[in-house]
Structure 1
Amino acid sequence: MRRALHRILRRPLARFARRETASLTVEVMIMFPVLLWAFAGTFVFFDMFRENSVSEKAAYTVGDMLSRETDAITPTYMDNTLTLFSTLSGIPAENIGLRVSVIRWDGDDEVYDLRWSQARGGATALDADEVETWEDVLPIMVDDEQIILVETFSRYTPFLDVGLGTMTLDTFVYTRPRFAPQLVWEG
């Protein structure tokens, strides 16, 4: 029975394998989903980088605003800073976190010293132990110089499912105080 079936199907299968008609339809059926996924993925990646860029620009604005401040920073000021960041970035406040820290370089001990850190939204305040391990990411500073570190965390959910899933976009911006020697926390 097997041999008979093999003999019967051998010629039609060989003829089908040699034919080249309708191969375009098969190729389109194979490639169209891949092309569609790549097209959708391009839009998602572009949107993700756009949102990251807007978030980074908003973080630079917040850092610049804080660097020009001569009065002490209060809890209300920090709450309004989160609102400003949300407005500038266009990201809803429930999807973002903001952390502002003031870090000083101690030239005698050659260590970064955390002066104060405050967080709003989904972020947590910076720990002094964390700062000591950041030699690679913080700038070189002179003795007793301070910087204002603004970190933002925003939750990004792609508008199309191309395999990325929800992710957190982080920004890390530092600025030196401009009009006052230090930025003081009052709260």
Structure 2
Amino acid sequence: MTCLSLRIRHFLSTFASRENGNLSLESALIMPVLVWTVTLTYTFFDGFRENTANLKAAYTVSDLISREGEDAITDTYAESMYLIYNRMVNNNSPLRMRLSVIQYIAADQDAGTEERYRIEWSTACGFESNWTDANLDTLVERLPEMADLDTLIVVETSKDYVPLLNTGWLTRDHKFNNFIFTRPRFVPIVRGPNSTHFCQQDVAPVGVAPGA
């Protein structure tokens, strides 16, 4: 029995001291972790890059509209802004865009009126509905201080993020939502189209209405 125990102990000590096969074993253990780290890092980096691109595109649309005249915004113009936005970002998911102009009217003690906001126009592509005087309370909360009869151009965009590497590790949907407001540069107010939906593309509507 003692001889058998010594043989077993000698075999185990010899096996433990042998180093051949270490590289293969370490590679088998490290490679899955390395692949997971690289792909996940690239996915998150790509997400930040796309988020920045979407924000820049929203500011570009807002700036272009702010430079127009009073009657420049038509359905064709609004749709061109939609196409410009998609050219600036990865066009791998539907874009939702809503363009609005809101005016602030200060309180008038002599006339006995309270301050209020008024939607001059609002048109969308992909959003379920537009801003109106009846549902603008949620919108007003996000606006800066405004002077009497001042107007703001509001550009809202929403775009789903589709990872370049569909690893399945992102367990929830990610959306790039932007809310940009800009004052008109050359005219008191930029007039908009009469229609409430400017695009003709087959775009699935967002299931969130204004004020929801």
Task: Please give the range of the TM-score, normalised by the shorter of the 2 chains.
Answer: 0.7 to 0.9
- Structure 2 length as normaliser, TM-score? 0.68
Residue pairs, 1:140-179, within 5 angstroms = 140-162=145-167, 163-164=169-170, 166-179=173-186
Query: Would the aligned equivalents of 2:123 and 2:193 in 1 still touch at CA under 8 Å?
Result: no
Q: Runs of 4+ in structure 1 displaced over 3 angstroms?
A: 18-32, 109-112
Which deviates the most, 97-106 or 33-42?
A: 33-42
For structure 2, the residue ranges without an aligned partner over 5 or more in a row are 1-8, 108-113, 195-212
Higher strand share: 1
Aligned pair count reads 177
Structure 1 residues 105, 31: CA separation in 2 closer, same or farther (over 3 Å shift)?
Answer: farther
Query: Would the aligned equivalents of 1:102 and 1:149 in 2 still touch at CA under 8 Å?
Result: yes
Residue pairs, 1:95-106, within 5 angstroms = 95-106=94-105
Say which structure, 1 or 2, has more relative contact order (CA 8 Å, 6+ apart): 2
Which deviates the most, 164-173 or 143-152?
A: 164-173
- Structure 1 length as normaliser, TM-score? 0.76
* CA deviation vs aligned residue, 1:73-111 (integer Å, no higher than 9, x gap): 21111122211222233425x621211011122322344
| 1:183 CA drift (Å) | 1.1
Q: Secondary structure at the match of 1:159?
A: coil
Q: Distance in 2 between matches of 1:138 and 1:184?
A: 19
For structure 1, the residue ranges without an aligned partner over 5 or more in a row are 1-10
| 1:44 CA drift (Å) | 0.8
Q: Distance in 2 between matches of 1:19 and 1:105?
A: 81
| 1:66 CA drift (Å) | 0.5
Structure 1 residues 161, 90: CA separation in 2 closer, same or farther (over 3 Å shift)?
Answer: closer
Percent identity of paired positions between Structure 1 and Structure 2? 34
Q: Distance in 2 between matches of 1:27 and 1:105?
A: 67
Letter in 1 for 2:88: L
Corresponding position of 1:6: none
Query: Would the aligned equivalents of 1:153 and 1:170 in 2 still touch at CA under 8 Å?
Result: yes
Corresponding position of 1:8: none
